[in-house]
């Protein structure tokens, strides 16, 4: 399936498409796709470009999750969900800077899953710019590290 996508749109656009899908659907593995694409490309420079594209694609998906959670929070203000969200926000506020640390660590390591952390960031109201900055930096570190491991292994 992915071979036909790459043949029709090129490796860069295919990588972006697959990375957005992998950011939304946990069954699509962006890391494995990146490794396979690097092995097929046989070029260290392309490996770094592909790693950055995967990071960008993943963040496109996570931005969608962030805003979906934020929208659900706004819609749920008049329901039982609203009481739960108020409790979650109070808990996060007591953590002070720790939610931001958790966001960055999750973006780099993937534990806790960045999918869930992206939703949580939208729910508890982490500023979008902060979410975007920590997320993209963390994702770039993650995927460039994977690319470097593949190239120099």
Q: What is the pLDDT along the chain (153 residues), one digit of tens a residue?
A: 556 665 667 899 999 999 999 999 999 999 999 999 999 988 888 999 999 999 999 999 999 999 998 887 666 666 666 666 666 666 666 666 678 999 999 999 999 999 999 998 998 889 999 999 999 999 999 999 999 999 998
In this structure, what is the dihedral angle of CA atoms 119, 95, 101, 85, given to the nearest 10 degrees? 0
The ranges assigned to domains in the chain are 2-152
Secondary structure (3-state) at 108: helix
Q: Whole-model pTM?
A: 0.85
């Amino acid at each position: 399936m992915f071979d036909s996508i790459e043949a029709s749109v090129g490796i860069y656009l295919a990588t972006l498409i697959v990375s957005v899908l992998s950011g939304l659907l946990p069954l699509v593995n962006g890391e494995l796709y990146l490794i396979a694409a690097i092995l097929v490309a046989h070029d260290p420079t392309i490996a770094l470009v592909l790693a950055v594209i995967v990071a960008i694609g993943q963040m496109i998906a996570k931005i969608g999750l962030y805003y979906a959670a934020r929208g659900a929070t706004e819609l749920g203000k008049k329901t039982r969900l609203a009481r739960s969200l108020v409790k979650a926000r109070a808990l996060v506020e007591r953590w002070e800077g720790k939610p931001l640390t958790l966001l960055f660590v999750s973006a780099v390591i993937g534990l806790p899953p960045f999918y869930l952390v992206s939703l949580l960031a939208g729910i508890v109201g982490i500023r979008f710019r902060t979410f975007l900055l920590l997320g993209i930096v963390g994702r770039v570190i993650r995927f460039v590290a994977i690319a470097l491991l593949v190239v120099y292994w």
